[in-house]
Amino acid sequence: MDGDKHISLTDLIERLRNGVDAVNSSEASKEELSEMLILSRELHERFAVLRFKAFEASTQEEQVEEEDESVNESQIDLIDAIEEVSLAEQYQRKPLSSVGEGLTILERANFTSILFSNDDARFNNMLDNVDDCNSVDEATKLFRESINPSGRNEDVDLAIKSFEERIPRIF
């Protein structure tokens, strides 16, 4: 794998899929396994950046910055990540059949930890109860009454805002 060549997420996932197929058919060499490890790390790092950017974008207003005339390779990667976040933002606006639909493992862990003091059962009960509500106001009120936050106020406020943005998408 070329360390200096940017690979799109689609190509990265396709290369991993081919590697998994080779492993499943017992045809993978040691080199292929090493390449899969490198590719999976790259995928993990990209998703970590995307998650951070999506979380950051939901908490801050857009700021207009002047671009330098000389754009180096690391800036190109950042621009690609920002463009991919805008695609993630498009998915964040789609209607949901359930307020818990589409929550990533990290989002679920974050909400459970910060808003429900690591009480997973209470978090799951709240998800079910919010789904049964008849209006956005009723669901928001139920959510706010259900939480038992722990952590820094900034983190709590950010998690509440992020979750409350999901509620209108089920109505």
Check whether residue 82 and residue 113 sit in a common domain: no
Where in the sequence is the domain holding 111, given as residue range(s)? 105-170
Q: Which of 44, 63, 92 is the last residue of a domain?
A: 92
Check whether residue 29 and residue 81 sit in a common domain: yes
Look at residue 15 and tell me whether its pLDDT is greater than 70.
yes
Structure tokens that stand for 116 in this block = 């429900």
Q: Is 68 contained in some domain?
A: yes
Check whether residue 15 and residue 52 sit in a common domain: yes
Contact (CB, 8 A) for 77 and 6:
yes
Q: Identify the band that residue 72 occupies on the pLDDT scale cut at 50, 70 and 90.
A: low
Q: Is 33 contained in some domain?
A: yes
Check whether residue 110 and residue 87 sit in a common domain: no
Q: Identify the band that residue 73 occupies on the pLDDT scale cut at 50, 70 and 90.
A: low
> What pLDDT is recorded for position 135?
95
Q: Is 165 contained in some domain?
A: yes
Number of structural domains in the chain: 2
Structure tokens that stand for 67 in this block = 């671009």
Q: Is 99 contained in some domain?
A: no
Check whether residue 78 and residue 40 sit in a common domain: yes
pLDDT digits (tens, 9 = 90+) for 126-154: 999 999 999 999 999 999 999 999 989 99
Determine how many CB atoms are found less than 10 A away from the CB of residue 148. Answer: 11
Check whether residue 112 and residue 44 sit in a common domain: no
Q: Is 85 exposed, middle or buried (0-12, 13-18, 19+ CB in 10 A)?
A: buried
Per-chain mean pLDDT for the chain? 81
Global pTM reads: 0.48
Q: Identify the band that residue 167 occupies on the pLDDT scale cut at 50, 70 and 90.
A: very high
